[in-house]
Amino acid sequence: MNDPEAANRILPVPDALVGRRFDVALSKMLGLSRAKASDLIDSGHAELSDRSFSKSTVLLAGDTMEVRLERPEPRSEPIATEMAIAYEDDDIVVVDKPVGVAAHASVGWSGPTVLGSLIARGVHITSYGAPGRHGIVSRLDVGTSGLMLVCKSELAYKEMRRQFANHEVAKTYHALVQGNLEQDRATIEAPIGRAKVSDFRFTVTPMGKDAVTHWDVLERFSAATLVSVNLETGRTHQIRVHFSSINHPLVGDHMYGANPKMAESLGLERQWLHAMRLEFRHPRTHVWTRVDSHYPSDLQIALDLMRSRHTQK
């Protein structure tokens, strides 16, 4: 059983499993299904030391199992090669995150991440922060594109974390919402928490955390309104939840009640939302710093279609 590509394990049979079938005992010891345990025995990847056996062999006191488990191939995270860097110095890097890129690795996510892509490019990121999330002081959803700041130095991490926590960073988003907003500007102030119907959805609830969203109308269409949004707080899905709560969900945001036919007609496969601008005091120089983005192609095409339809009416 000497195979450099496999992990060998020597397992003395515990007293509690003496008298049980080999396959049954193996499944219990390794946490496998009985079928998988049987496959390991039949393929010669699991044996009993010093005596003949089959999967139905009854185990005796003093028996020892030898198990060879194939080492899994190390997974190489895909790299977001199209992710642009909007600003970089020795302390911080601001990326223009494309849709479909997560901020960092997480359970169940196999796509590219901002953190992994930066490291793969040779960008040094501070070790400060939670494991696997080091350097990150704020995040964007996978389905939201735009500007996201990552810290390269310890000084930057401590200072930018403080600025974000104290709501000193000005975050400006542009969103296309369904319907015609009655006011030219307004504030939505409503607490946000997890929705009981789903682990992935959030909702306005008295039991939630305080959330404040300011918006100004940029452009009006017959079926939608383009708005500039500033956040005082940074709750998960805040913009999406708040606009849905006033019956103006983001165009393309099916999770929060958007009309799927409208999104389909505009060629949209996600919510129309983009992080357009970040303004903050530089963590080292304390100079007020502004970084701007532009609409990615899918949002620009959808907006142009909306404009052309509006002018034709």
Residues designated as active site = 141
Are 277 and 147 spatial neighbours (Cβ–Cβ below 8 Å)? Answer: yes
- CA 106-293-79 angle, 5° bins: 35
Q: How far apart are CA 215 and CA 151, in angstroms?
A: 28
CB atoms inside a 10 Å sphere around CB 241: 27
Q: How far apart are CA 241 and CA 224, in angstroms?
A: 17
Handedness of CA 183, 189, 192, 197 (dihedral sign): negative
Encoded amino acid at 176, one letter: L
Q: Where are the alpha helices (DSSP H) in the chain?
A: 22-30, 34-42, 114-120, 154-165, 238-245, 260-266, 297-312
CA distances in angstroms from 80 to 62, 115, 248, listed in the order given? 54, 10, 32
